[in-house]
Chain A
């Protein structure tokens, strides 16, 4: 099993890189010959990745959510998986490279630094924690995807305003579609983040009797949740169009990243298990 984990750990970044390269090639060249090749490669990558995560769970007897680098690997997988589902639902393929790039970065870092981890605190073996972490990570994947589509929207918007009809104009879907993709990804991210917060609130008092609701990790996540909540509600009620909603999405993303960096590196939190 250990040998399989090592092999998959090397194989995964290569698969993500291949997938990214094929999507990038398709973006630049738009060859009919590429057809479904990019989708098939991404599907295989996701299957291999899920197998790798299962192998880690079986080998170390706990879900791979106990170190930064295990979590990075799950983020890479959840981004790829979320994008794959989005592509299947919308059949919009021109944007894959921009999303898969994040999976490549997270998986490469994970594969380089990850190590065997047999001993973990008992609290991290809890099943409710698994659900909490998975929903939180999928929620953050939604936020990342929403931000990527937000950036693509912004780029196309600028190109159209400035009469630039290059690659961005030719290969990206319409502004309306990019806005919708960004919005739906944000909504899905928001729902999953809500689920993670709710599970956390239910489970926290049992797992950490001395925890505080003013913990930096909790307040940071709540702030991210609020930004997206306001953005989505405004879009829903005030019919917030394109650029204004995209600004919300991008601010939410920046706040989410800042919150993760601050709470994981600078602040003391009960969330630090490693």
Chain B
């Protein structure tokens, strides 16, 4: 049996559901394919821009969201750096921490937002339909645009050095901006993450502790908007004719569709697709997410259980970790991000894991032992900052996304242009995944 849709979204995260619901509300026929086996490992926070909230009328679902309180980096020797959504609040926090750069903060944030060229570059990388040429509007615009483009294609470290003086602050920004994509600060294109990080839609929100989860609300919103769900594994994506793609499912069912959207590279990799060509896709690395249940409650780090934390000694460690991951090793000084779930569990995440391991005999897949080693190292990293943490761990659950399955590292590339698959779109890791996915489907459907 073949069903026909305008748009097929593959994935089960907030960005996938938001994009599907918005598309369905604009009148498109939409299907969502989500994997059969799902673990509830996702972070509790997400970006949820106001325009998406309003378009989906999320207030009607009894959902209430709160902004995450702060972004905190736990440095060595008890030093912390804290930044907030508001510029003034951040300036005050930085002044309190004795950072001279608080005077420059407002200008710095403005400059990073002004890296418009970065947005063009990301849009180009997310090769959307009728957007194949967007890569080459890169050089349109005046000298200022080209200067910004030059900066955005450069490294994050160079951009930070250009504006800021305080090493701990630079480490903090690099850790939070690059964390989701697992990039090193010295890599070309890593500066892109900065403009994205300071984008107005990128500040994270999390559902109110007592209310329904954002994901389940979005799922309901999808169903209410007429999105059809297929809880099946994907077996093949093939091109049919000049305009359509056929998605085959595990039980032999097929879906004929105009566009396929993977809202995250993780979803694409799970389905065996190569990820986006965008620098933010963090080629060659895997992401480990772990949920830690504690034996007894402990006070949150920095007395704040609504913040997102990074554990990092110095900005240079990001590049070292990145190189270790590309080398097929688990980095010694693994940069990790963590937050507190509503029930007091800690969710730890790192995008600096290797996609495959390399030893004397060549490349090999992740094993159970590797997963354990990764879990151990993540706990160790937290223990370096939180006193008596290791002894307080009761149970852990770890998931690795983006691990390569064959005996060599996966090929992460853009849509298979050679086969004319330009209507299969894969989003890179983004700070504002929901906003980007919704804008993307808007463009796709308008391009019809």
The answer to whether A and B come from one shared complex is no
Please report A residues at the B interface, Cβ cutoff 8 Å: none
